[in-house]
Amino acid sequence: MNYRNLGGTGMKVSEVGFGAWQLGNARDWEGVEDHQAIRMVHEALDQGCNFFDTAPNYGGGNSEALLGKALTGRRSEAVINSKFGHHPDNTLDFDSQKIRSSVEDSLRRLNTDYLDSILLHNPPFEILTGSTDHFKVLESLKQEGKILAYGASVDSGREMDELIRNTGSQVIEVMFNIFHQEPRRAFKLAAEKNVGLIVKVPLDSGWLSGKYDENSVFTDIRSRWDRGQLMKRAEFLPELKEMLQPGESLVQLALRYILYYQQVSTVIPGNKNSEQLIENLSASVEGISTEKAKKLEELWEEKLQVDPLGW
């Protein structure tokens, strides 16, 4: 496993992290059994993965609780990122007066006395402008040692720009993948300001695993895709598969494309089983050529920039 700096936080994180949305989360995905979840966390640590991304609403708090249980006795090996705004009861509330209690609840579930980083979880745009007191509260928690860094989880380059220019954020989580490259334009500013970048949804909610086609039927969160979206995604798969090296999977290509950008600190694919975990982590072993990365950039610019795929 290779490691990168998490911006200017002083933390080093594994290039491929562990997206813990699926831990204890049968509401949004096929559930992972508790014992299997704990075993996967241990296996990730053993393979050199040290970055774990979770949130209070993942599995109604179960993701944090399982992660905390799995890290018992191994907390020092892990960098934990959690969030604020989406709550365990599935409500959305960004009241700044609730940040402290939410952090303390996360600490309790995770069985730790500090979070390495915490992010406002896709907050309203006005919060990103620094016109509210949210980041003052986060700075206070940082001064107290309850958190070591803070920022926000967002979906666009515009949101990244606003956050970087108007707040003291040290970390940003952003959606970025082969099909969703718009945030790439803000990577340079993030690097200039020494902001660590965590990339979420790297496999387009599993589509870039190559396991699905236009006839696939989803009963989980991916049921938001209509047939038109599925057909549009399916059109690109043959072209992407032609770029694969012998022995390389589409998953590995998708993750390696993201890691091509040195401004990215870590990428956080999800894991439903040990096989997926190992495939994800192995993306760190090799990189991709500049030529191939440019080809993937051109694919997006020519076919998706003006007619983007919905998430």
DSSP state letter for 115:
B
- In percent, the amount of the chain with pLDDT more than 70 equals 96
Lowest mean pLDDT among 11-15, 21-25, 122-126, 305-309: 21-25
What is the pTM (predicted TM-score) of this model? 0.94
Is residue 238 in some structural domain? yes
Is residue 308 in some structural domain? no
The pLDDT tens digits for 69-111 are 999 999 999 999 999 999 989 899 999 999 999 999 999 999 9
Is residue 93 in some structural domain? yes
- CATH number for the domain harbouring residue 220: 3.20.20.100
Which residue would you say has higher pLDDT here, 26 or 196?
196
What domain count does the chain have?
A: 1
And the tokens for 300? Answer: 């997006």
- In percent, the amount of the chain with pLDDT more than 90 equals 78
Is residue 30 in some structural domain? yes
User: Rounded to an integer, what distance in angstroms lies between the CA atom of residue 301 and that of residue 298?
Assistant: 5
The answer for residues whose C-beta is within 8 angstroms of residue 217's C-beta and 6 or more apart is none
pLDDT at residue 210, as a whole number: 78
The pLDDT tens digits for 28-64 are 555 567 888 899 999 999 999 999 999 999 988 999 9
The pLDDT tens digits for 257-302 are 999 999 999 999 988 889 999 999 999 999 999 999 999 999 999 9
Whether 216 shows a pLDDT value over 90: the answer reads no
Chain centroid, CA 63 distance in Å:
14
Q: Which of 202, 150, 147 is nearest to 176 (CA)?
A: 202
Q: Please state, in angstroms and as integers, the Cα–Cα distance from residue 2 to each residue in 27, 89, 178, 259, 263, following that order.
A: 33, 37, 22, 11, 14
DSSP state letter for 57:
T
Whether 172 shows a pLDDT value over 60: the answer reads yes
Is residue 138 in some structural domain? yes
And the tokens for 5? Answer: 């700096």
Domain membership of residue 129 as a residue range: 3-303
Is residue 124 in some structural domain? yes
Q: Which of 62, 65, 54, 19 is nearest to 40 (CA)?
A: 19
And the tokens for 308? Answer: 């983007």
Q: Which residue has the tokens 């402290």?
A: 100
Is residue 311 in some structural domain? no
Average pLDDT, rounded, for the chain:
92
Is residue 207 in some structural domain? yes
